[in-house]
Amino acid sequence: MHNYTQYGRMQVAKVLEHFINAQALPGSGVEEQTFWHGFEAILAKFIEPNKALLEKRATLQAKINAYHHAGKAATGKPYRSFLEDIGYLLPEPPDFTIETDNVDAEMATMAGPQLVVPINNARYALNAANSRWGSLYDALYGTDVISTDEGAEISHRFNPVRGEKVIQAAREWLNTLLPLNSGTHQQAVSYKIDGDAIAVTLADGSISTLRDTSQWRGYQGSAEAPTALLFVHNGLHFEIQIDAAHPIGKTDPAGVKDILLEAALTTIMDCEDSVAAVDAEDKTQVYANWLGLMQGTLSVEMKKGDTTFERKMNPDRQYTAPDGNSLTLPGRSLMFVRNVGHLMTNDAILFDGEEVPEGIMDGVITTLIAKHDLLGSGRFTNSRAGSIYIVKPKMHGPEEVAFSDALFGEIEELLGLQPFTLKMGIMDEERRTSVNLKACIAAAKQRTVFINTGFLDRTGDEIHTSMLAGPFADKASLKTMPWIQAYEKANVSTGLACGLSGKAQIGKGMWPVPDQMAAMMEAKIGHPKSGANTAWVPSPTAATLHALHYHQVDVFKVQKDLAEARFNGIDDIITIPLLADRNTLTKEQIQREVDNNVQGILGYVVRWVHQGIGCSKVPDINNTGLMEDRATLRISSQHLANWLDHEIISPDMVRASLARMAKLVDEQNAGDPDYIPMTPDTASSIGFQAASELIFKGAEQPSGYTEPVLHQKRKEMKALLRGR
Ligand SMILES: CC(=O)SCCNC(=O)CCNC(=O)[C@H](O)C(C)(C)COP(=O)(O)OP(=O)(O)OC[C@H]1O[C@@H](n2cnc3c(N)ncnc32)[C@H](O)[C@@H]1OP(=O)(O)O
Ligand SMILES: O=CC(=O)O
Ligand SMILES: [Mg+2]
């Protein structure tokens, strides 16, 4: 238990109280008394409605369970009518367009990658904030986008064979980014400023020029010997960096040392599924990092090899424009903060003795902190348009969006912000939101700045909602079946119909295979092609590479082309992706599916519970590292729970797999000095027990969420570690 200070009906854990009174409130223009009193009033107003929303989720789920339990039709008209009758599938509201004002260009009129990062990891969070710009050479050199054939392996010491391949590949990209009137960038031997134009000398001595002269926007260094030439294409900037004395520039006939791409236009600083924050200490750390990002003061001491340096937020980038005026471009990614959803409570604050809803607490405190940005008191500016961007995850249907909208309004009033300063990113990641998406957007039409298909949570909810309908298809097949394709397509179409183009983001989900960048380059071009003006990437390198897709596709043109054809797709969306025939899976296929799920669950959960790490790269059964977070855990645990329920697998089979995989996961982590193994005594390993509970009690978890078990077990683990 924490030490608390009483504020009216609230008790605030001292660690959080101290942070707020000493760091977050000073300079915010809000008095201590006003803040705590107003916070108390918000809790008094919103706690009961929050509980009622959760009860409604449970009531609807119980009705769905009873329907399937009775063996009623899980397809076609009868099923759709049932969903309508119980108020799960609601009538579509009349047409409208969103009215969101003061949206920064990065979200409204630009198209590019969106990075997500666990906010409590300062080292990664700083890296993410700075990933607005990324080195194309580094991204190509360090990943499988360039093959290792013919002596081009990735080595720590610079491999000139690979280096040459990188230069050639980058020059090939320049042909797309910066078309020339004659010749190609592979032939370029110099890039120079010639009056108000760019002259590119080719190997045969001829001079080429830019096909579109307006692409040139500025330079760094002197006009005679620029160190960087700045261009724009499809709204994204990039630099050709020149330094003939640099180790790479030396090898290049034009002295080009790198191509720097505008990459992560926006970043989501995540307080939710990639973070393990279970109590007042953890939450205070999360909020402290957000304050550091909003004030520009966050920094970490870094050690790489023999060098030690300080990582901090990058300044804006300065150039001279072709007309001689100075030009400044943002040096950092525009930041959202992802609050948690409506489900969990946290003991950092008690109200009438009970833990408060964590989502309400996040809303109030992350907004208070972001107010510092609007007041301009920090070192940098995040939103030049004067807005605060909150991603609200895991909302089920329009009532839950309306609740967040009302909460945001009260928070604005408490903190002295103009109405609708708080903008909302709506995660379309629960089935009741997908099937009522238009009504969800309508419920926050003055705040909506994005809709995003969080297909990972969405898959977990798909399984949980129809748990009793029958056994689900294997995990790989689930990703290709009609429901998901219709969900993705309908999201874009609904977003366009509600006027998001030019005002907000229509976003696509995460690439969860961080080391497979070649595959990402093949797959993720599908996102801009589908009309999405942003999509999630797991790392800065992935952001740099994914940025190339937005040079290949003019998303706003795609959106225009798609705008006329409204796709609703509801009948496909509600088609439950069950196994067509339970006898088609071989014993071996079933065993592999179980082992793969169990390995992923244990690999993620043990680090979460034992070490407080909320997002990990965990090898799957083929030894491919997968990004695992709470949403991927929700899928794996719900999938096993479903197959157990329908006796595709037996509890003994799962127990045997857990025992085998626990050993393997311990071995995989042997190199981590902070790792706490699960074996040999799995019965007293809290991490192991958490994983087992998530599977065996998966069917009874609210909406199949993993948070309740993870939080409880992490708290047990922290208590154990404190007692040691
Ligand atoms: C369903 C959903 O909700 S998805 C959203 C939640 N998921 C996320 O936020 C994913 C974020 N990504 C990550 O946390 C990580 O990339 C992981 C856990 C997947 C892999 O991490 P690691 O195994 O440490 O990656 P790896 O060793 O390849 O790279 C580490 C380097 O990349 C950087 N990096 C990796 N991911 C990120 C990121 N998301 N943001 C910023 N920097 C990052 C690190 O800072 C580090 O560089 P440094 O040494 O200069 O600090
Ligand atoms: O939050 C994202 C998801 O896919 O879930
Ligand atoms: Mg999610």
438-480 tens-digit pLDDT: 999 999 999 999 999 999 999 999 999 999 999 999 999 999 9
pLDDT of residue 564: 87
Cα 539 to ligand 1 centre (Å): 5
- Using CB distances shorter than 6 Å, the residues near ligand 2 are 273, 393, 427, 429, 454-457, 509-510, 631
Q: How far apart are CA 547 and CA 530, in angstroms?
A: 15
8-57 tens-digit pLDDT: 999 999 999 999 999 999 999 999 999 999 999 999 999 999 999 999 99
Q: How far apart are CA 72 and CA 76, in angstroms?
A: 11
pLDDT at 654 over 90: yes
Q: For a pocket test of ligand 1, which of 115, 119, 121, 124 has the largest count of ligand atoms closer than 8 A to its C-beta? A: 124
Find tokens 């939103």 and name the residue: 383
- Output b/e per residue, 530-569; b: 16+ Cβ within 10 A: bbbbbbbbbbbbbbbbbbbbbbebebbebbeebeeeebbb
**Does residue 674 contact residue 611 with C-beta atoms inside 8 Å?**
yes
Q: Which atom of ligand 1 is nearest to the CA of 273?
A: 3
Among candidate residues 405, 474, 629, 666, the one labeled active-site is 629
Mean pLDDT of 299-308: 94
pLDDT range class, residue 278, cuts 50, 70, 90: very high
Known binding residue 123? Answer is yes
452 lines ligand 1 (CB under 6 A): no
pLDDT at 724 over 90: no
Q: Which ligand is nearest to the CA of 114?
A: 1
DSSP 210: B
pLDDT of residue 1: 62
Known binding residue 399? Answer is no
Q: Which atom of ligand 1 is nearest to the CA of 274?
A: 6
319-338 tens-digit pLDDT: 999 999 999 999 999 999 99
18 lines ligand 1 (CB under 6 A): no
204-254 tens-digit pLDDT: 999 999 999 999 999 999 999 999 999 999 999 999 999 999 999 999 999
Q: How far apart are CA 592 and CA 605, in angstroms?
A: 20
Q: For a pocket test of ligand 2, which of 455, 459, 628 has the largest count of ligand atoms closer than 8 A to its C-beta? A: 455
45-71 tens-digit pLDDT: 999 999 999 999 999 999 999 999 999
pLDDT range class, residue 162, cuts 50, 70, 90: very high
Q: Which atom of ligand 1 is nearest to the CA of 393?
A: 3
Q: How far apart are CA 95 and CA 83, in angstroms?
A: 22
Query: Quick check: do 133-261 and 587-723 share a fold?
Result: no
Q: How far apart are CA 200 and CA 350, in angstroms?
A: 66
Mean pLDDT of 405-418: 98
Known binding residue 311? Answer is yes
**Does residue 112 contact residue 528 with C-beta atoms inside 8 Å?**
no
**Does residue 2 contact residue 350 with C-beta atoms inside 8 Å?**
no
Work out the number of other CB atoms within 10 angstroms of the CB of residue 207: 14
Q: For a pocket test of ligand 2, which of 457, 463, 527 has the largest count of ligand atoms closer than 8 A to its C-beta? A: 457
- Output b/e per residue, 25-64; b: 16+ Cβ within 10 A: beebebeeeebbebbbebbeebbeebeebbebbeebbeeb
**Does residue 238 contact residue 107 with C-beta atoms inside 8 Å?**
no
Q: Which ligand is nearest to the CA of 459?
A: 2
Find tokens 């509970």 and name the residue: 693
CATH number of the domain at 40-132+266-573, please?
A: 3.20.20.360
Known binding residue 564? Answer is no
86-131 tens-digit pLDDT: 999 999 999 999 999 999 999 999 999 999 999 999 999 999 999 9
CA-closest candidate to residue 694, choices 590, 598, 589, 616:
598
Backbone angles phi, psi at 200, to 5 degrees: -110, 110
Q: Which ligand is nearest to the CA of 509?
A: 2
Retrieve residue 149's tokens.
């054939």
Retrieve residue 532's tokens.
């999405």
504 lines ligand 1 (CB under 6 A): no
Task: Identify the residue whose C-alpha is closest to ligand 2 atom 2.
Answer: 454
116 lines ligand 1 (CB under 6 A): yes
Domain map (residue ranges) of the chain: 40-132+266-573, 133-261, 587-723
Task: Identify the residue whose C-alpha is closest to ligand 2 atom 1.
Answer: 454
CA-closest candidate to residue 17, choices 272, 283, 355, 292:
283
Find tokens 């809303």 and name the residue: 363
Q: How far apart are CA 555 and CA 536, in angstroms?
A: 16
Among candidate residues 162, 338, 432, 607, the one labeled active-site is 338
Task: Identify the residue whose C-alpha is closest to ligand 2 atom 5.
Answer: 457
Distances (CA, A) of 240 to 183, 249, 548: 18, 11, 15
Percent of the chain predicted with pLDDT > 70: 100
Mean pLDDT of 166-192: 97
Q: Give the DSSP H/E element, type plus range, for residue 406.
A: helix 397-415
Q: Which ligand is nearest to the CA of 454?
A: 2
Backbone angles phi, psi at 227, to 5 degrees: -95, -20
Cα 195 to ligand 1 centre (Å): 44
Cα 510 to ligand 2 centre (Å): 7
Cα 581 to ligand 1 centre (Å): 39
Known binding residue 274? Answer is yes
Task: Identify the residue whose C-alpha is closest to ligand 1 atom 23.
Answer: 617
pLDDT of residue 587: 96
Give the distance between the most distant pair of CA atoms in the chain: 81
CA atoms within 13 A on the CB side of 560: 6
Distances (CA, A) of 112 to 133, 478, 535, 659: 12, 27, 7, 44
CA-closest candidate to residue 121, choices 626, 487, 616:
616
Q: Give the DSSP H/E element, type plus range, for residue 33.
A: helix 32-69
Work out the number of other CB atoms within 10 angstroms of the CB of residue 243: 18
Cα 205 to ligand 1 centre (Å): 45
Retrieve residue 190's tokens.
């110099």
Retrieve residue 607's tokens.
């680090």
Q: For a pocket test of ligand 1, which of 127, 450, 616, 618 has the largest count of ligand atoms closer than 8 A to its C-beta? A: 127
Task: Identify the residue whose C-alpha is closest to ligand 1 atom 45.
Answer: 124
pLDDT of residue 283: 98
Q: Which pTM does this prediction carry?
A: 0.98
Question: Helices 482-497 and 555-563, interaxial angle, to 10°?
Answer: 90
Mean pLDDT of 513-542: 98
Task: Identify the residue whose C-alpha is closest to ligand 1 atom 5.
Answer: 116
Known binding residue 316? Answer is no
pLDDT at 156 over 90: no
Q: Which ligand is nearest to the CA of 126?
A: 1
Homologous superfamily of domain range 587-723: Malate synthase, domain III (1.20.1220.12)
Known binding residue 116? Answer is yes
Task: Identify the residue whose C-alpha is closest to ligand 1 atom 22.
Answer: 617
Known binding residue 124? Answer is yes
Q: How far apart are CA 646 and CA 472, in angstroms?
A: 9
Known binding residue 162? Answer is no
Q: How far apart are CA 169 and CA 163, in angstroms?
A: 10
487-500 tens-digit pLDDT: 999 999 999 999 99
pLDDT of residue 397: 98
Homologous superfamily of domain range 133-261: Malate synthase G - maily-beta sub-domain (2.170.170.11)
pLDDT range class, residue 2, cuts 50, 70, 90: confident
Residue 674 annotated as catalytic:
no
**Does residue 198 contact residue 219 with C-beta atoms inside 8 Å?**
no
**Which residues fall within 8 angstroms of residue 33, CB to CB, at 6 or more apart?**
none
Alpha helices in 202-323 (DSSP H): 280-295
CA-closest candidate to residue 267, choices 448, 116, 44, 89:
116
Mean pLDDT (the chain) is 97
263 lines ligand 1 (CB under 6 A): no
**Which residues fall within 8 angstroms of residue 308, CB to CB, at 6 or more apart?**
301, 302
Handedness of CA 17, 18, 24, 29 (dihedral sign): positive
Residue 352 annotated as catalytic:
no
CA-closest candidate to residue 451, choices 439, 463, 459:
439
Q: What is the DSSP annotation of 586-644?
A: -HHHHHHHHHHHHHHHHHHHHHHHHH----EEEE-TTS-EEEE-HHHHHHHHHHHHHHH
State the Rg of the chain over Cα. 26
pLDDT range class, residue 532, cuts 50, 70, 90: very high
Residues in the chain: 724
Cα 459 to ligand 2 centre (Å): 9
Q: How far apart are CA 555 and CA 560, in angstroms?
A: 9
